[in-house]
Structure formats: structure tokens, C-alpha cells
Amino acid sequence: MTGQLDGKVAIVTGAARGLGREYALRLAAEGARVIVGDIRDCGQTVAAVEAAGGTVTGVTLDVTDMASCAAMADAAVEKYGRIDVLINNAALYGGLKGGRFEGLDPGDWNRVLAVNVTGVWNCCKAVVGAMREAGSGSIVNISSLAAVYGLPFSLHYATSKAAVIGMTRSLARELGRDWIRVNAVAPTAVMTEGTEEFFGDKLDRAKEIIAKGQTLQRNLETGDLAGTIIYLASDASKFVTGQTIMVDGGTVYL
């Protein structure tokens, strides 16, 4: 049986743990050759993908540094000959310090925008040449329910994820002539290490409130997002671009 992504080369940023690791595992399981990048060590992700029989290469990646993003793209082309898919997953989330908007630390504000917005821009710039050469491509940007529903006391995060949706729509129009599709996925809080860090000792209460606000009343797990990522990465969505798909258990309807 062939996978939905046989012959494709996919890059996943922020792949050292959590959602990034899950995306890498599922992409590889569908036949993609995967490049995983993170500012953290991706060794455990590489080991997990290889143990499952997948093909993977790990790189050190700082999405705020254009040279680092270019080196990641070069590594993909050198190793596998092409780039077909980019999953822009890297983001500052876990460990962010929230608070009333007027009291947010300016340094934190700038760091969030640098990673969550400029980092997406940098990675798109890094891969677009190879995608044009391949004749097509799929870019999947990870936004958040926070961008659509609103997230009080975390204006830096919500603003950055709203910018990702705007970037997705504009890039989709600009890159359509190259048959490069650009879409976004906007999940609610997923039960990862980052979410545990973000909510801290308020995690249990947050999980309860989030689930009760959904039509499908349970908390989102990493596997719940993988199907949407595979769909957008594959030819099953070859005429879908500029869209934001909510994976939020039915919290908001676009």
C-alpha cells in the first residue's frame, strides 16, 4: 500500500517535541522523507521516526535567523533533491508570561513576533525557490484558535497567530501562479508540554473551561491534528489554498 505522500519531501519546524514530533511521525508514515528542525535537539524525534520505519534528517534551526532557515532548505535539497511541503510549526507558546496587555514585557512582545511571525516569513522565503523548481508545493502555517476567538491576557501570542492567518491569505494569492498552496490550521489548546507550561498550575481549570466551550467536549490531543496536516500536505487538497481550517472541537464556525 502506498502512502499519501510517497515521493514528497516535507520540512517540519519546531519538531523537537509535541505537535512537531507528531507531524513528523505522521508525514513519514505516509511516505514523505522528512527534515525536522528546531532550536532544541531533535534527536528524540529523529529516533522516533526511524524506529517507526520512516526516513528523516534532523537539523538545528533558529527560525528568527534567515541564514539558519536557508541552511535547513539547502540540507533538504542536498539530501533529498527537492522540497514539496513546509509545516511552519515553530512558535513561542509554552513558558510565555501573560498578563494585562498594558503590562506585557516589551521584550517578550518582540520575541513572540520574531519567532511566530518573522520565523514563518523566513521559512517560507527559504523554501519557495525549491518549490518553484519542483513545480508545486504546499505550505501549512500553524495558527491558533486564539487568533479567531480571542485570548485575553496573552495579546502577544494572539496577535502573532492572527498575523499568521493574514500572511497565509496574502501568500496564497501571491504564490498561486507557481502552484504553491498556502493554508493555515488553527487548533485550540492541544495537550502538549507547551500547553502544560503555558497554563502552569491553572492547567486543570483551563482544560475544563476549554472542553465545555466546544461542541465536541474533550480536550484536543496531538493525534487529532495530524489528519488535517496530512490532508493539506497531500494532493487530496490540491485545489485548496488560502484557507484557515479550525481544529477546535467546534468552538467557532468560519
**CA–CA distance from 30 to each of 82, 146, 156, 227 (Å)?**
17, 30, 35, 11
* Run of H or E residues at 81: none
Angle at 96 between CA 65 and CA 230, to 5 degrees: 65
CA dihedral 158, 240, 59, 124 (to 10 degrees): -70
Contacts of 1 (CB under 8 A, 6+ apart): none
254 with 244: CB under 8 angstroms? Answer: yes
Pick the closest to residue 88 from 221, 180, 169, 184 (CA basis). 184
Check 23, 80, 93, 157 and give the catalytic one. 157
Which of 77, 185, 181 minimizes the C-alpha distance to 133?
Answer: 77
157 is catalytic: yes
Q: Which residue has the cell 461542541?
A: 215
CB neighbour class for 227 (10 Å; exposed up to 12, middle 13-18, buried from 19): exposed
Active site amino acids = 157
